[in-house]
Homo-oligomer: A and B are copies of this chain.
Amino acid sequence: MAKSETRIFRFQEGHSWKGVEREVYKSGQEEGRNWQGIVRQVIIGKSEECTTFHLRYFEITPGGYSSLEKHEHAHVVIAVRGHGRASLDARTYELNPLDTVYVAPWTPHQFQAASDEPFGFFCIVDSERDRPQAVSPTEADAAQAAGPLGES
């Protein structure tokens, strides 16, 4: 495929970008991980762009959640729409628009919508990265027990 040329992805109604596919994952599970109510848009990462990173936008519907997982690659998450809840290691944090999270390698993490509107966020990752893994039973218990909101 030819290298991607300079291009503008217009933001449009429905929190989507013109020319970018909305991939809907109502629910699913894979290798011990499960998720619900997620829409993914890969803005940068599918067209042979000359970058060592990909830019994706995720939206989690109220009641939905990303999988509780861990991996070697780091995440950079920028909250954009609505309010979210991030489980990071054994603590829970509320995320409001433009709050930015650095998820270090191997940190168990999970995201949820925290209000009655979708929680939307950018997630930037290295273009070459390992596959997400299920967390250990101990890590799952710790995430489950994370009650009060952590301070940051």
Residues of A within 8 A of B (CB): 3-11, 17, 43-44, 49-53, 55, 73-74, 76, 78-80, 86, 88-89, 93, 95-105, 107, 122, 124, 126-128, 152
Q: How many copies are assembled?
A: 2
How distant is the Cα of A46 from the Cα of B51 in the complex, in angstroms? 19
CB atoms of B49 and A8 under 8 A apart: no
How distant is the Cα of A99 from the Cα of B122 in the complex, in angstroms? 13
When distances are taken between beta carbons in the complex, the residues of chain B under 8 Å from A51 are 53, 74, 76, 124, 126
How distant is the Cα of A98 from the Cα of B121 in the complex, in angstroms? 12
When distances are taken between beta carbons in the complex, the residues of chain B under 8 Å from A53 are 51-53, 76, 124, 126
Q: A7-B152, A8-B93, A10-B152 are in contact. List 18 more A-B contacts (CB 8 A).
A: A3-B105, A7-B102, A8-B99, A11-B96, A11-B99, A43-B100, A44-B102, A49-B74, A49-B76, A49-B102, A50-B74, A51-B124, A52-B53, A52-B127, A52-B128, A78-B122, A80-B98, A124-B124
